[in-house]
Amino acid sequence: MKFLVGNWKSNGNIKEKKRLLGSLNHLKPKTKVILCLPFTLLNDTKTKIALGAQDISLYPNGAFTGDISGTMLKDLGVKYVIVGHSERRRYHHETNAIVKNKANIALQNGIIPIVCIGESEIEHKQGKTRSVIKRMLLESVPEVGKFIVAYEPRWAIGTGVTPTAKEIESIHKIIFETLKTIHCEKMPVLYGGSVNAGNTTDFIDIPHVDGFMVGRASLKSETFVPIIKNMN
Ligand code: PEP
3-state secondary structure 2-15: CEEEEECCCCCCHH
| Active-site entry in 85, 124, 172, 208 | 85
| pLDDT bucket at 48, cuts 50 / 70 / 90 | confident
pLDDT of 215 over the 90 cut:
yes
| pLDDT bucket at 79, cuts 50 / 70 / 90 | very high
Ligand 1 centroid–CA 159 distance in Å is: 9
Assess contact for 218 and 33: CB atoms under 8 A.
Answer: no
- Among 102, 184, 105, residue whose Cα is nearest residue 148: 184
Q: What is the CATH number of the domain that holds 109?
A: 3.20.20.70
Phi/psi for 66 (5° steps) reads 90, -15
Ligand 1 contact, 215 CB (< 6 A) = yes
| Number of Cβ atoms within 10 Å of the Cβ of 228 | 20
| pLDDT bucket at 45, cuts 50 / 70 / 90 | confident
**pLDDT, averaged across the chain:** 97
- Among 225, 159, 214, 221, residue whose Cα is nearest residue 6: 214
Residue 81: strand, helix, or coil: strand
The pLDDT value given to residue 47: 85
pTM: 0.97
- Among 188, 173, 125, residue whose Cα is nearest residue 153: 125
* pLDDT digits 0-9 by tens, 134-182: 999 999 999 899 999 999 999 999 999 999 999 999 999 999 999 999 9
Residue 42: strand, helix, or coil: coil
* pLDDT digits 0-9 by tens, 4-26: 999 999 999 999 999 999 999 88
Give me the number of domains the chain comprises.
Answer: 1
Ligand 1 centroid–CA 136 distance in Å is: 19
| pLDDT bucket at 51, cuts 50 / 70 / 90 | very high
123 flagged as catalytic: no
**Host domain of residue 139:** 3-231
152 flagged as catalytic: yes
Assess contact for 102 and 58: CB atoms under 8 A.
Answer: yes
The pLDDT value given to residue 107: 98
Ligand 1 contact, 4 CB (< 6 A) = no
- The helix (H) or strand (E) run that includes residue 88 is helix 86-91
The pLDDT value given to residue 224: 97
- Tell the residue nearest (CA) to atom 2 of ligand 1: 215
Residue to mutate (ligand 1; options 55, 121, 157, 227; most atoms within 8 A of CB): 157
pLDDT of 120 over the 90 cut:
yes
Residue to mutate (ligand 1; options 195, 219, 220; most atoms within 8 A of CB): 195
d(CA 95, CA 13): 30
Ligand 1 centroid–CA 213 distance in Å is: 7
Q: What is the mean pLDDT of residues 182-196?
A: 98
